Amino acid sequence: MKRTDYCLKEIAARFGGQLLGNAEITVNQIATLENAQAGHLTFLASEKYRPLLAVTRASAIIVSTADAEATQLPRIVSDNPYVYFAKASAFLNPPAVVVPGIHPSAVIEAGAHIDPSACIGPNVVIGAETRIGAGCVIMAGCSIGAGVTIGIDARLYPHVVVYHNCILGDRLIAHSGAVIGADGFGIAMTEDRWLKIPQIGRVVVGDDVEIGANTTIDRGALDDTVIEDGVKLDNQIQIAHNVRVGAHTAIAACVGIAGSAVIGRHCRIGGGTGILGHTQISDNVEISSFTMIGKSIREPGTYTGIFPFNKHDVWRKNAAQLRHLDELAKKIKLIQQEIETLRKES
């Protein structure tokens, strides 16, 4: 039978931190300060939630050094309570154990190699010459094209689609509805109609990548679209052909990235952001939600391009003034020149 209760000292022995209070107290789940009950381990990662310390019913708590004496609950003191919470939560909530095997309804085409430890669910289709690594879980209704390579311990949730020849790394998580390797939007106008340009590149995904539900990553037109190690993609993101996303970058929901954009390592991109094609973004850039990136960003830092909301009539007046900014700037320049001329004459 699977164990579910752990002493606080066992968790501290695994993840470190200073123990204060009753180290023998047992916990079996993570919860918020507000909703925690007996048996729960909670955490304080922001000072705005400090008042909840007085009312939480948790059995134990993870706190920062600054808050080590802010409560008398049994506690683990950590330099980064939020990261500690993430580790403890993963420990207390491991993935369900999966039984290896291939469901009878799955369609496995000629030459496909599936490691004996993998689990292939109902109505999965796996194309010719595709390779599925050890410990992979391919859930119901997934469709994997020919010549695909998937590393070890990948988990594809129901109805993920992977087009032909794509390469997916170890420990990939792809959520339902994700599409990897669809054709990029490559078209050329000839006379009075559009001509489709074959998209002959691939999608290459590194290790430890997570792809959210209904996110699409297009294959390259000529070269590959590349998602480097440790990238985390939220739901409903569009990544166009020949984009490169640097290692350990995190991108929130509904971002659109146009073709051939290059995003650096350790970037954080807020939801709803739009990034135009052929732009380059430096490492360690943070982009606020709903910002439009129309040119390259060469230096690390935080970038924001949001027009603040207001009451509708006020917003319309302010927006109308924006149309005249160039004209106003020219007038100011002329006034400055006239002032300078008057100074010289005096």
Q: In terms of C-beta density within 10 A (0-12 exposed, 13-18 middle, 19 or more buried), how is residue 129 classed?
A: middle
Query: Which residues are within 8 A (CB) of 50 and not within 5 positions of it... i.e. 6 or more apart?
Result: 44, 67, 70
H helices of the chain, in order, are 8-15, 81-92, 312-322, 325-345
Quote the CA–CA distance of 189 and 192 in Å, as a whole number: 7
Cα within 13 Å of Cα(310), Cβ side:
10
Structure-block tokens of residue 268 = 């954080």
Q: Could you say which of 40, 241, 248, 324 is catalytic?
A: 241
Query: Residue 221: how many CB atoms within 10 A of its CB?
Result: 21
Rounded Cα gap, residues 274 and 240, in angstroms: 12
Tokens read off for 315: 């917003």
Q: What is the DSSP letter of 43?
A: E
User: How many CA atoms, within 13 angstroms, populate the side-chain half-sphere of residue 192?
Assistant: 0
Strands 187-190 and 193-196: antiparallel
DSSP assignment of 137-197:
EE-TT-EE-TT-EE-TT-EE-TT-EE-TT-EE-TT-EE-TT-EEEEPP--EEEETTEEEEP
Integer CA distances (angstroms), 74 to 10, 22, 43, in order:
13, 5, 12
| Catalytic residue flag (residue 159) | no
Let me know: does 318 contact 300? Beta carbons within 8 Å. Answer: no
Active-site positions read 241
